[in-house]
Amino acid sequence: MCANKASSLLVCVLAVILLLLSPGKGQARTQTDSSPKVTSTDQQKCIPSILTLLFKSKDKIEGEKVFGVTVDDISNISEIRDALLSFTIRPYARIVFDEYVSPSYYKETVQDLHSVAGIMGEILDSMYMAEYSLAEYELRVREYIDLLKEHVDIWEIGNEINGEWLGDNAMAKASAAYSIAKNAGEPTALTLYYNGTYNNGEPSAENCWEDSEHQMQVWARNNIPEDMKQGLDWVLVSFYENDCENISPDWESIFSELHEIFPSAKLGFGEIGTTVNAQKENFVRKYYGMERVRPQFIGGYFWWYFKQDMVPKSKTLWSVLNEYAKPW
């Protein structure tokens, strides 16, 4: 990006400072022989790096609202970018990295979208977790982080991790991904799947699990390692009302319990949506319009069908969603 790894940050900072302090036309400027040489090319290349660092720092501010959408398909990227750029506040784009696809496929897109949105990288959707061995998943995590970390603000190291369809060693994979990300100095998010109340392990109208041990809070308490409980940056909830017989969870109570399990994490929704056209606007308003239920609650939401429902931005649901693009 700049001259070399040892001096790149210094040169980038100087490039921006000199650009800001550049004299007007006809005014002289001096630069001592001992000063690092900063060219106009340095300035052009380094400004995006400085902005990236600033946005990464901003994304970690306690209490910031995360106004998120999910990008599950990067075709027609110009319209996706325009829809993101046009929101009233800077959004977060959760990019779903498809199974068996190299990170190089996403490099240009991630860099482009990061100029208009924070980026959460979903390393692998839950539907495909069982298809990867532990070694294959670890390799995938390393490859994605190594190539894309400059433009990804936080990594979703496990998606709907308590889901009954992920296979027996899903937690081992997420734990390995957590260690890889943390060793690389990268923030981490874990998404759980809300499947109703525990109800003493008995099926009821208020739950939709088949095995009670997979009930979200029970599974989290029993299976997630202590270092992750203490160290995860975000803990998010995936919830699809149509999956669970249209139950109405007590979110204040649920997020309070998650705070007990994950005392240091910010909390929010990692995935919501519906395929029922008549319900889409109502669901957008219901979730994005939620009051802040806890100090740790950052929102998130990450509507799964963003591209289908809200791109291009001329679609009605984009305007509905933009009504909620505002700080707490």
SS3 of residue 302 by DSSP = strand
In a domain, 275, yes or no: yes
In a domain, 206, yes or no: yes
Residues 24 and 153 occupy one common structural domain: no
CATH of the domain at 248: 3.20.20.80
In a domain, 328, yes or no: no
Mean pLDDT of 37-55: 45
122: closest CA among 325, 302, 307, 312?
302
N-terminal to C-terminal alpha carbon distance within the chain:
36
In a domain, 184, yes or no: yes
Residues 20 and 158 occupy one common structural domain: no
**Matching residue, tokens 């931005």:** 313
The tokens for 214 are: 């997979």
Residues 12 and 94 occupy one common structural domain: no
**Average model confidence (pLDDT) for the chain?**
86
Residues 127 and 194 occupy one common structural domain: yes
In a domain, 171, yes or no: yes
Residues 29 and 149 occupy one common structural domain: no
The percentage of the chain sitting over the pLDDT mark of 90, rounded to a whole number, equals 77
SS3 of residue 275 by DSSP = coil
Residues 142 and 211 occupy one common structural domain: yes
Domain that holds residue 27: 8-50
Residues 187 and 263 occupy one common structural domain: yes
Mean pLDDT of 271-293: 97
The tokens for 237 are: 């909830």
Sign of CA dihedral 172, 177, 183, 186: negative
Q: What is the structure's pLDDT at 310?
A: 98
Residue with more model confidence, 244 or 143: 143
Q: What is the structure's pLDDT at 63?
A: 55
Residues 21 and 110 occupy one common structural domain: no
Rounded to the nearest 5°, which phi and psi values hold at 286? -65, -45
Model pTM above 0.85:
no
Per-residue pLDDT band at 11 (split at 50, 70, 90): very low
In a domain, 1, yes or no: no
Q: What is the structure's pLDDT at 245?
A: 80
Q: What is the C-alpha to C-alpha distance for residues 97 and 102, in angstroms, rounded to an integer?
A: 9
Residues 193 and 252 occupy one common structural domain: yes
Residue with more model confidence, 56 or 183: 183
pLDDT per position as a tens digit, 92-141: 999 999 999 999 999 999 999 999 999 999 999 999 999 999 999 999 99
Domains contained in the chain, number: 2
Residues 148 and 32 occupy one common structural domain: no
Residues 175 and 149 occupy one common structural domain: yes
In a domain, 148, yes or no: yes
The tokens for 289 are: 């319009």
In a domain, 57, yes or no: no
Q: What is the structure's pLDDT at 40?
A: 45
Residues 103 and 168 occupy one common structural domain: yes
The percentage of the chain sitting over the pLDDT mark of 70, rounded to a whole number, equals 81
